[in-house]
Amino acid sequence: MKILVAVKRVIDYNVQVRVKDDGTGVVTDNVKMSTNPPDDNAIEEAVKIKESGKAKEVVAITIGDDKAQETVRKALAVGADRGIHVKVDGIVEPLAVSKILKKIVEKENPDLVFMGKQAIDDDCNQTGQMLAAILNWPQATFASKIEVKEKSLEVTREIDEGLETIEVNIPAIVTCDLRLNEPRYASLPNIMKAKKKPLEQLNASDLGVDTKARIEQIKVEEPPKRKAGIKVASVSELVQKLKNEAKVI
C-alpha cells in the first residue's frame, strides 16, 4: 500500500499574526513558518501505518513557493520515503490545490491520501473533501482514530455531537484531527538523512492546472478590539460585577 500525504507551510501556530497596514494581507516577512499542525498528524499516521507493515511507501507532497520544500524535508525527516514539490507562487485556493493533487494521484496511484483537516492560515477546511469529490473517492474527515483493514479503513471522526465511526473502502481520503496521534520530532541524524531522500520538483502549470484565484480578496482587517477589562480582587466582587454591572447572571 502507498500513502500520499499533503503538507502545507503556514505561519507557525505560536506566532501572533499581524495584519499589514495596507490591508492586503498579513505580515509574513521574518515570521516563523512551519508545517500546518494537523498535517504533522497526517504524516505521523502514515509513517505509523508503514512501520506496522501495512504500507510500503509514504510520499509527502507540498504545493507552494520554493520555501514550501521545508515542509517536505521535515516530513522526510520523520519517516516519509520521498517528496514532491509542486511549485506555484501566491495564494492557491483549495479548489486548485485539490486539482493539483488529483493530477499527482493519477500519476502516483496511492491507495490512501492523508492531510490535515484544516490549514490554520486560511481556515478553509476544504481540500480533502474536494479531492475526494473530484476523484469520486470516499472521504473520512476529522479523523481521530484510523484502523487499517484489508480493503478498507475504519475511521473514528470527531463531530459536534461526539464521535462517529465510518468504514471507507480503499482508495480513500482521510483528513486528520489533532487528536489522531502525537507527532514525533525529527532527530538530527534523520534530518541529515532526509536531505539525501529524493524530492521531485514540478510546476503547477506543467500539470495543466489553472490556479487562478476565483475569490477576490478585497481587504484584510484587524479584528475588532475588545475594550480593556479589569481585575477583580475577590470572588464576591466578581459575582457582584456580573450581577449588577454586566447584568449577565
Partner 1 sequence: MSVLLIAEHNNTDLRPFTFNAATAASKINEDLHILVLGNKSDSVAKAASEIPLVKKVIHVDNEIFDNFTAENYTSTILKHVDNYSHIVCSANTFGKNLMPRVAALLDTSQVSDIVNVISEDTFLRPIYAGNAFATVKSTDKKKCVTIRPTSFDPATSTGGSAEIVKSEPGDKFESSKFVKREEIKSDRPELGTARVVISGGRGMQNSDNFKLITAIADKLNAAIGASRAAVDAGYITNDHQVGQTGKVVVPDLYIAVGISGAIQHLAGMKESKVIVAINKDGEAPIFSVADYGLEADLFEALPQFLEELNKLNTIQK
Nearer to partner 1, 19 or 199 (CB): 19
x/- site string to partner 1, residues 136 to 155, per CB under 8 A? -xxxxxx-x---------x-
Binding to partner 1 by residue 28, rule CB under 8 A?
no
- Is residue 215 near partner 1 by the rule CB under 8 A? yes
- 30 vs 36: CA distance, rounded Å: 18
Nearer to partner 1, 65 or 122 (CB): 122
HEC string of 145-203 equals EEEECCCEEEEEEEECCEEEEEEEECCEEEEECHHHCCCCCCCHHHHHHHCCCCEEEEE
Alpha-carbon torsion, ordered 46, 193, 71, 178, to 10 deg: 40
CB of residue 87 vs partner 1: minimum separation in angstroms?
Answer: 21
* Range in contact with partner 1 (rule: CB under 8 A) among 46-54, 70-78, 195-203, 241-249: 241-249
**How would you label 123-157 residue by residue, b for 16+ Cβ within 10 Å and e otherwise?**
eeebbbebbbeebebbbbbbbbbbebeeeebebbb
Q: Concatenate the DSSP letters of all residues of 47-72 into one string.
A: HHHHHTTS-SEEEEEEEESGGGHHHH
3: three-class secondary structure by DSSP? strand
Cell 483528513 belongs to: 175
Minimal distance in Å, beta carbon 28 to partner 1? 11
Residue 117 as a binder of partner 1 (CB under 8 A): the answer is yes
Whichever of 72 and 172 has its CB closer to partner 1, that residue is 172
- Integer Cα distance of 64 and 7 in angstroms: 10
Q: Which is nearer to partner 1, 29 or 222 (CB)?
A: 222
Is residue 229 close enough to count as binding partner 1 by CB under 8 A?
yes
Annotate each residue in 91-110 with x if it binds partner 1 (CB under 8 A) or - if it does not, as one string: --xxxx-x------------
Question: Residue 118, interface with partner 1 (CB under 8 A)?
Answer: yes
Q: Under rule CB under 8 A, which residues in 155-194 are in contact with partner 1?
A: 157-169, 172, 177-179
List of residues 6+ apart from 206 with CB closer than 8 A: none
Asked whether position 121 contacts partner 1 by CB under 8 A, the answer is yes
The residue from 126, 181, 202, 209 that contacts partner 1 (CB under 8 A) is 126
Dihedrals phi, psi of 222, to nearest 5 degrees: -65, 150
Q: How far is the CB of 92 from partner 1 (least distance, A)?
A: 11
The grid coordinates listed for 53 are 507493515
- The nearest distance, CB 31 to partner 1, in angstroms, is 11
Q: Which stretch binds partner 1 (CB under 8 A): 10-18, 55-63, 107-115, 197-205?
A: 10-18
